[in-house]
Amino acid sequence: MPGAIEFFFDFSSPYGFVASTLIDQIAERHGREIEWRPFLIGAVYKEHGGVPLEHPLKREYAIKDFLRTGRFNGLTDMQLPANFPASPVPPSRVFYWIEGQDKAKAAEFAKAAYRKYWIDGRDTADPLVAVGVAQGLGYAPEDVMAGAQDDAVKGRLRQETGDAMARGVFGSPYIIVDEEPFWGGDRLAHLDRWLETGGF
């Protein structure tokens, strides 16, 4: 069986969100599984020193580009959340708590939490909002709340972030398949052709 598409993303990442709406069909077309791997991009910026959007000019352009990229891909109702960039920690912990029980549900949670933030504009950094997304998938809020605060889950997120960085991940989304890396939602067409042709 061919290797999975490793999809590294940060829950505050606009291009991660857009890619999350497109990656399933690419994976299906080529018979690949997706490993959803939320991590904390802030840890990367701390290590590499490259905080993005520092300059007002780039920030203004970036915000325009986020939404235009969404519209380009059919997400006409994508909006900039009021609290952008929100902490990705709460939804990431909920993700790994769910993943410990059910990988498919965790992938569903990832897509739903992204939509909650980038389409509905809700503050997914608020643990109650992240928990509410899980509730929508059938989990009892008190279980999710307790699970997300479990030391094992917290440690798991730290470990996943460290592992992503050890793999060379420095942005979101960052996709690795058959050891070939693709950084950015705008490389999905390259990924698609790579899977189609076996490398180019």
Residue 46 is a binding residue for its own copies (CB under 8 A): no
Nearer residue to its own copies within complex by CB, 57 or 82: 57
How many other C-beta atoms are found inside a 10 Å radius of the C-beta of residue 33? 13
User: Which of 61, 77, 140, 152 is the binder for its own copies (CB under 8 A)?
Assistant: 61
The encoded tokens of residue 132 equal 């509410």
Strand order in the sheet with 5-9: 34-38, 5-9, 174-177, 180-183
Phi-psi region of 139 (alpha: psi -120 to 50; beta: other; left: phi over 0): beta
Residue 158 is a binding residue for its own copies (CB under 8 A): no
Which one-letter DSSP state was computed for residue 184? S
Query: Shortest Cβ distance from residue 184 to its own copies (Å)?
Result: 8
Of 139, 154, 150, which is closest to residue 89 (Cα–Cα)?
A: 154
Residue 193 is a binding residue for its own copies (CB under 8 A): yes
User: Which of 3, 25, 28, 50 is the binder for its own copies (CB under 8 A)?
Assistant: 50
Nearer residue to its own copies within complex by CB, 105 or 187: 187
Q: Summarize as ranges the residues that interact with its own copies (CB under 8 A).
A: 48-50, 54-55, 57-58, 61, 64-65, 68-69, 71-72, 168, 170, 181, 183-184, 186-187, 189-190, 193, 200
